[in-house]
């Protein structure tokens, strides 16, 4: 059986846990060992583990930042798509209303046309926002 593949974040979290546990062991062993040469070796391993732990934590912060950024972009995209759908529905409503108005009701027709133009302007802004989000992907 092949083990389940793990994400980069999970691998980094696992390594951080293992390094933290190793550091505790090294520190404990340093306190209990009387052999100077052995203490030197343990201290070297401890320093190596501390440096690697710092690197793993830096990578985790970067990975989590990327995940958070992607989540924010996804939420923004979903919000803009929802707004676009609402604007398209309003636009359709006003077009139906415009089609139902008699030609001699020019003031009402003008107001409905103005509403349609306003919605089109808002749609352009939403489309620009979506385009900007998609270009970052």
Structure confidence at residue 69 (pLDDT): 82
Contact criterion met (CB below 8 Å) for 110 and 97: no
Poorest-confidence range of 61-70, 90-99, 115-124? 61-70
Tell me the per-residue pLDDT of 51-88, one tens digit each, with 9 for 90 and over. 999 999 888 888 878 878 888 888 898 999 999 999 99
Contact criterion met (CB below 8 Å) for 83 and 126: yes
| pTM of the predicted model as reported, rounded to 2 decimal places | 0.55
Tell me the per-residue pLDDT of 5-53, one tens digit each, with 9 for 90 and over. 678 888 999 999 999 999 999 988 988 888 989 999 999 999 999 999 9
Structure confidence at residue 63 (pLDDT): 82
Q: Which residues of 92-108 are buried (b: 16+ CB within 10 A; e: fewer)?
A: eebeeeeeeeeeeeeee
Structure confidence at residue 1 (pLDDT): 46
- Give the contacts of 133 (CB within 8 A, at least 6 positions apart): 73, 76, 77, 80
pLDDT above 60 for 2? no
């Amino acid at each position: 059986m092949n083990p389940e593949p793990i994400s980069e974040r999970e691998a980094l979290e696992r390594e951080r846990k293992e390094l933290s546990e190793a550091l505790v062991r090294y520190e404990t062993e340093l306190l209990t060992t009387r052999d100077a040469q052995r203490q030197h070796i343990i201290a070297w391993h401890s320093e190596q583990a501390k440096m690697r732990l710092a690197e793993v934590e830096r990578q985790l912060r970067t990975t989590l930042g990327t995940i958070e950024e992607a989540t924010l972009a996804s939420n923004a995209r979903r919000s803009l798509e929802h707004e676009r759908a609402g604007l398209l529905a309003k636009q359709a409503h006003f077009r139906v209303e415009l089609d139902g108005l008699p030609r001699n009701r020019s003031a009402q027709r003008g107001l409905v046309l103005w509403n349609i133009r306003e919605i089109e302007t808002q749609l352009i802004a939403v489309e620009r926002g979506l385009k900007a989000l998609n270009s970052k992907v």
